[in-house]
Amino acid sequence: MKKISKAEILIWALALLPLAGCLVAGPFLPREIPMHWNASGQVDRYGGYGELLLLAASGFGIALLLKFVPRLDPKRANYQKFSAGYTAIRLCLGLFYTFMVGLTLATALIPEAQNTLGVDRLCIGAMGIVFCVIGNFMPKFKHNYFCGVRVPWTLASEDNWRRTHRFAGPVWFCCGLGIFVCAFLFQGTVLSVITFLWMLPLAAPIVYSYWIFRRAQRGEDSPHEK
């Protein structure tokens, strides 16, 4: 029997933890649960217990997706070549969903926390960390149809895939780091605008991939560029 790794156990523990937390906290939750915050960090939408359970279950759904969808990938053998990075990303997303549900429960159970925690800044900071983790491992992604910059030009060429992800990694990491730092330097509408501006470069690898494709079509690529 194949041994289950500690990382795999932790991934599934994180997938189930938000649901367990919601079930335990259920009897103590108010009828209206904070579900969304505006740019100023104020609650602008409430939901019911069912919506909270759905949010918690989405983390488990993501865990299932990331575990089993690669098995349908025609390039599934390539996942073994970057398995450490793929596992790290699965762990990171599990932590992210657990954090988000925990934050929601905290603000529901302790109303005063809505004004003291800075929920908007914590959410944006956590999102920045996710981008950093993905960016850190992007250069190691091997050609596949599920994980990475999946545009026609990268999927059609192994060389384009490799060069695009080698470029995308630092871009995503720097954008994530910028978002994380700004989450603790700014707040309100200013933070929302700055976060949006930091996210724009995340699309740069798509443009870069198309540029590589066009250069290859014109025969302008030289060996040292590959």
Is residue 1 in a domain?
no
Q: What is the pLDDT of residue 175?
A: 97
Q: What is the pLDDT of residue 226?
A: 52
State pTM to two decimals: 0.89
Q: What is the pLDDT of residue 217?
A: 86
Domain that holds residue 32: 6-225
CA dist 43 and 192 (Å) reads 15
Is residue 178 in a domain?
yes
Is residue 216 in a domain?
yes
If phi over 0 gives left and psi between -120 and 50 gives alpha, with beta otherwise, what is residue 186? beta
Q: Scanning the structure block, which residue is given the tokens 């302790």? A: 110
Q: What is the pLDDT of residue 223?
A: 47
Is residue 46 in a domain?
yes
Q: What is the pLDDT of residue 117?
A: 73
Per-residue pLDDT of the chain (226 residues; tens, 9 = 90+): 567 888 999 999 999 999 999 999 989 999 889 888 877 777 888 888 999 999 899 989 999 999 999 999 999 999 999 999 999 999 999 999 999 999 999 989 987 776 677 888 899 999 999 999 999 999 999 999 999 999 999 999 999 999 999 999 999 999 999 999 999 999 888 999 999 999 999 999 999 999 999 998 888 665 445 5
State how many domains the chain has: 1
CA dist 80 and 63 (Å) reads 18
Q: 175-184 burial by CB neighbour count: b if 16+ within 10 A, else e?
A: bbbbbbebbe
Name the burial class of residue 29, with classes exposed (0-12), middle (13-18) and buried (19+) by CB atoms within 10 angstroms of its CB. middle
Q: What is the pLDDT of residue 44?
A: 82
Is residue 188 in a domain?
yes
Q: Scanning the structure block, which residue is given the tokens 């190691």? A: 140
CA dist 129 and 34 (Å) reads 23
